[in-house]
Every structure is written in C-alpha cells, then in structure tokens.
Structure 1
Amino acid sequence: MNVETTRLSSGLTIVTENMPHLESVALGVWIKSGSRNESEEEHGIAHLLEHMAFKGTARRSARDIAEEIENVGGELNAATSTETTSYYARVLKDHVPLAVDILADILTESEFDEEELRREKHVILQEIGAANDTPDDVVFDRFSEVAYRGQTIGRPILGTPEKVNSFTPNQIRGYLSRNYTTDRMFVVAAGAVDHQSFCKQVEERFAGLPLTPSSPVILEPARYIGGDVREDRDLMDAQLLLGFEGKAYHMRDFYCSQILANILGGGMSSRLFQEVREHRGLCYSVYAFHWGFSDTGIFGVHAATSGNELPNLVPVVIDELRKSAERIEQQEIDRARAQIRAQLLMGQESPAARAGQIARQMMLYGRSIPNEEMMERLEGITTGRLTDLAGRLFFDTVPTMSAVGPIEKLAPITDISTALSSPAINTQKAAG
C-alpha cells in the first residue's frame, strides 16, 4: 500500500493512497460522529445536517453546488450512520481542487436557510414514510430499538416526524459545532492523488473548522438488553430477524465473529443458505451478519419467507446455530478467509471503496491497516475458537427477535428463548 498520513497543527488528519494506474480520485471527509452523538432533543438531526450541507453556503446556492461538480463529470454525496457521517466526491484528477473547495464550503460555510430547511424537512418526512413502508427496513429498526431499549444507539437514524419538524437552524449549528471538530475529522483521498499538494489544498480550505468541541462529546455506554418485538402486517411475506449481542471492533472475538457470520450465512455455500433455502426451500432469502460498534455489536440472522413457513423455519435456524457450537470444519474457515481476502483486494481496485476503508480504519484504530496484518489476524482463528464463540453468542446471552408481516404462526419468544438456552436442547418447541 502507498498510504501517507499527515496530521495538521489544527488536529485535522489527512490520508491519501496514490493509485497511479487511475485517472480519477475518490475523496471525502469522514466525521467520527453520527446519530449516536445526538441528545434526546436532537433525534434525527445528524441526518438532517447531512442533507442541509448541500442546500447552500455563503458562496454557493444549492443549484451551484450540484452544477459545479457535475459540470466536470464528478459526483457528490453523503451518508449518516450510527457512529459516523461522511461527505464524499469522485472526480477526475484535474478537478481535485474543485472537489476539495466544495467539500470545505459545505462543511464550514453552510447557511441553513429557513426556506431550504423547510423544504428539506419535507423531503426527510417522505424518506421516513418510505422507510416505514419497507418491511425489511422496519424489521431492522425495530430490532435495534428493542435490543438497546431507551438508548441513543437503538434509535432510527432518520428520526421521527415530530422531532424533524421541530429543528431550527440554531440547533443544527449547535450539533455541528459540538461534533464537526478537527479532532474527529479525517480527510481521505484515493486514486490519482499527490499527497503533498492535496494536504496543501485541504489545509488552506479547511482552516475554518472548529478545533475543539463547544462541549465535551461523551457517548452513553451501550447496554444490550434484548427482547421481542412483532408487527403483524398484511403482507405477502414475513421479515424475521433473530439476533444476539456481538463484539465491538476492539474486542478479541471481533474477527472471529466475522468469520462465524460468513460460515453461517455469508453466501450461497453457507450453512444457512444450503440448509434453509436450497435443501428445505423454507425461504427465498436468508443470511447472517455481524455489525461492530465502538463498544458493542450485533450478530444476527435475517430471513424472509411466507408466514406459513415460520413454524418450520425457526427450528431449522436454531438447529444450525446449535450445530455451529458443536462443530466447525477447517475448510469452512479457509473458505471464509478466502472470501474476506477477496473482498479486501477487490475493494482496493475501487478508489471510492478504498477511501472508505482507509477512513474507517483511521476512525477505529488510528491508522491504516495493511492487508497482510488483517490476514494475520484471521489466520489465528481456529475451529475451537469458533465453536466456543458460537456457544457463548447463541446460548449464553439473551436473544432479540424482530418480526414484521404475517407472523401469527411465529412461536412465542419464550419458546424460542428456551430452545436457545442450551446447545444440546431439543429445538422442537420453537416450531410453535
């Protein structure tokens, strides 16, 4: 890797990776702040701020921002997650100064005009409505809400219509000044980029960023609770999500959890896909995942099926979880490692994916991690570690169940919890 890092006197961190075979550059600003950094009164404001950044500055109107980047064939976008927010662009190498200028403009000189704010609130209300009409979005939102009840980390990123409608320009500025500070921001570029000239451009244009927060940024520690939430809807299929507390990024079992998720439901050769979908035909979609956060994580299995298949589906899923606590084959580990390695290398062929990967590593670990080091971490994972982890994950913790759709035939959570109380227990009760 040809990764270079510079930390400016302001505290802003700049990272580049030169990819000489390219003619384009993907660049952006990543902020170590997301929906989890909101106060109770600010629910949804991180996402609203992301939208409002494109709605006009002291130098550019909303239309100017869109036209200037597209006049040179570039792209500009942003995203808000639970713990991070990003603003990014992709342009040809000759137009990097323009992209830097626009990104700096929207992050340091946005006006938050009242009329633009009114219009953007209306757009977000439509986005909230669309999400509520999408069952596979709803099932994940409800899952987080019950797994982390009463906590910021469990709230939907979009916010609520009531909260979104209440926000004022001053509230947005308050959240911005508290969270968009140089000690929490990383400017990253990958592609046909020269590190020194890029640093000079960034230092000149981002001089207006606040150096320290107006008040300390303190995250409420996550407390996984678990539980059951169900929403009976008149739909063609049922969305089902069964999950457990996973591992935070810095925990020893984080990479082990990634491997386990891949073995259970990471592709067409995975255990769940083969047994649940291919062999038994109980659903049209099933997969496992592991999400890491700074101090907690989620390990989950998601399936989409007809309501009539739920009594058959759930016991089979639980049985596969039980089997993973009893035996893992070495060839399964080898296949999972090969898939992760391929994803890493394929991602590095895309400057946008590479910039995002570097930014995440900088925010989480304070440095860019070489592929060799990443693979060394995976090499230390054994069959014994995986079965031990599966036993602790699935049978020693409180499960969280979220279901949306025709779910009247879904077994009670008490039966599902009983079936998960021991790796050796008979899972037939979970049939309902």
Structure 2
Amino acid sequence: MASASDLKLGKKLNEGKTKQIFELLDEPGHVLVQSKDQITAGNAARKDQMDGKAAIANKTTSCVFQLLQTAGIKTAFVRQQSETAFVASHCDMIPIEWVCRRIATGSFLKRNPGVKEGYRFSPLKMEMFYKDDANNDPQWSEEQILAADLEPAGLAIGRCEVDIMNKSTVAIFEVLEKAWATQNCTLVDMKIEFGVNVATKEIVLADVIDNDSWRLWPAGDRSQQKDKQVYRDLKEVTPEAMQMVKRNFEWVSERVKLLLEPHTVGRVVVLMGSTSDMSHCERISKACSYYGISCDLRVTSAHKGPDETLRIKAEYEGDGVPTVFVAVAGRSNGLGPVMSGNTVYPVINCPPVTPDWGAQDVWSSLRMPTGLGCSTVLTPDAAAQHAAQILGLTNHLVWARLRASMLNTWISLKQADKKLQHCSL
C-alpha cells in the first residue's frame, strides 16, 4: 500500500476532532482524509489519545465504503491510500448529521421519556441534527433544514435534496444492517453525513463511517457492545480502560473485512432449448453479472432429450451450491415445467416471445399442471432480477446490489421530476 507521503499535498482544508482534510495538488477535485489517534465524546468534552486509532478507523471506513460502492451507492470514497488515510472526491459538506435507528437506546430515550430501551423501530426511525458544537448539535426537523437555505458547492438544498438524503440514509443503514447480521451482530443505530461533490454537484455519502459512527451489539446483547459507547461509559479513563476500548475497535476493524465477502455463494443456470436463443440468454447473463452472480449457459431440450435435461439438473444439484434455473424455450415450453417437476430449486421461465405466435406460445409457460411452481417473466433483465431476489435472501452482497438499485431508481425519478418542475416554471 502506498503512503500519504507519496502524494503532493496542498493546503489543509479542514480539521476536525478525529481527522484532517488536505487538498491534492496532483489530483484536482480530490482530497486526502487523514485520520488522527484522538478519540472524543460529548463534543470533545472528553478526549484522549488512543495509539493506533487512526489506522483502525481508516481500515474500518475504507471497508465500509468499498462495500457500499460495490453495492452501487454513490460515495466520496476513491481509494485507501495508506494505513491512516484515504483519497476522496472533494466535497462541500452539508452540516447535518443523519441518524438512523433500529433500536431505541442512548440519547433517544432521554429525549423521549416513556419509551423503553430496546424498542424496535419498523420502519426505521430517522433523526437529523445540525452540526454546531457550541450548541451541542441541536436536533432539526426537515422544515428547519429547508428554511436554512443551505447551498453547499452552489447546490440549493430543497425538498428534493432532503428527500434524497433521507431515502439514502435508510438504504445505507439497511445494507450495513444486513451485512453485520452475517456476523451475528446487530446494527443498533448509525449517523452519517453527506456532501456535494464540487465537480459533479451530486449529493454523495461523505465524511467517514467508522466505529465512532454506530452502535454494534454482538448477538443483539448490549452488554457485549463493541462501539464507542464503551468509551463514553467509562467512569475513569485509565490505561487499562483505554486498552479495552482499543480491543473493541480492533474487533470491529477485523470483522468489517468479512462484510466484503459473501456469506453464501449462489449461481444462475440458464437452460436454452436452442442456440437460436443465445442472444436472449446472454442478456440474462449480463444482467446477472450486475448483481455479482455467476451464470452458466447450457443447451438442452426437454422435448428431444429429457434424459440429458435431467442429467444436467442433477449435475448442478450435486455440488450443493444454491442455484436458480432459468428456462429459455420458445414455442411450446416443456423445459421449465419439466425442470420444475423434478427439482426443488427455483425455476424461472423466460421465453423469447416472438412477434408472430408469441402471444399464444406464452401460455405454455403460464398454464402449469398441479404441483409445478415455476414463475414466468418475459424480459431477460427481469429474469435476472428475480433470480437475484431469490439468491439475495442468503447473500448480503446480492441483496445490497438490489437495495442500491432500488434507491438509485428512486433518486433518478425524483431528480427527473425536479427537472421537469423547473422547466415548467
């Protein structure tokens, strides 16, 4: 790994309690985010040095942002540069902390007396706080954010932008919640910040997400908490106590690497009745790759070679890899029904509908005998998405791509509506 000294640093753009931001002279539009060994609580009312914290925080942040980017969520993160620093797109930060809660605990209980600790929010509870250390980061409503007339990097923060950040916060939380669940660890709550990319004027997830940003309870047990709350709860800061805090931070930084690995591996097997359907099947394969799913293409006919069709089925059942079969057969579709009647694995019909007899042929995929459960979709992209939804039930990385895709579709519609309204005016 390179070091920060390999880069030509410009002026210091900002310095916070736990990091410094430097411009990069050789990479216009990018900055270096350098972590510090300082740990704080209560807006720095308590602060201490913790040797190695910068490396631990940087490692955690880099892994988290890599996970989110792989899913398809837009972030400022570019690359990890060194043990204690990463390169990011230059952003003008929006001075709002977005807090997302799954379980009621901490300051929420103080502000909402009567709510019992452990109350589970479904849907997630959203809160916003204006970044103002002098006033202890007061809680703001959406209306206050809109009334503030914020314009980071020249982008006016209006209803569209607030809605985008709100929806994005929920999606980001859910992706990380799903990922931490693979480690039998509950993501209790989390705070994040957004910035406006000064070059593209896009709102992106920025700042950092490290062990200062969330509460993590292994096995859902608060007594095992591994986050910064352990430091906040210290009655006395001693060397022994700081070693305990550091061990918790190291525990998180080691396990966060595992979030980048699939908990289970699945695949899609496309069975085509003829190579004349190859282009249709290749579109399914390409769409599968978008979700990070491997895809095998095979040729077999349930009408002309049922024994070979069932042999191929047994080949994929025999290695124990979770599999979704997609049957591509035109005219009379015997492939999907035969597969569905002889395997417990999911089967999806995706017939290549032709303009001549397609409307009639599709009934052979829709009208199934009793005891067959294969579904039917008519476009290759939809077949791949349906397969991804099945495999995503046990693969958090596939699930994350689906969740991010849903978010990005929503954002594109929101922005299109804003543009249309602006043009109408």
Q: When the two structures are superposed, what TM-score results if normalisation uses the length of structure 2?
A: 0.23
Asked which structure has the greater CA Rg, the reply is 2
Higher helix proportion, which one?
Answer: 1
Q: Relative CO higher for 1 or 2, CA cutoff 8 Å, sep ≥ 6?
A: 1
Q: When the two structures are superposed, what TM-score results if normalisation uses the length of structure 1?
A: 0.23
Higher strand proportion, which one?
Answer: 2
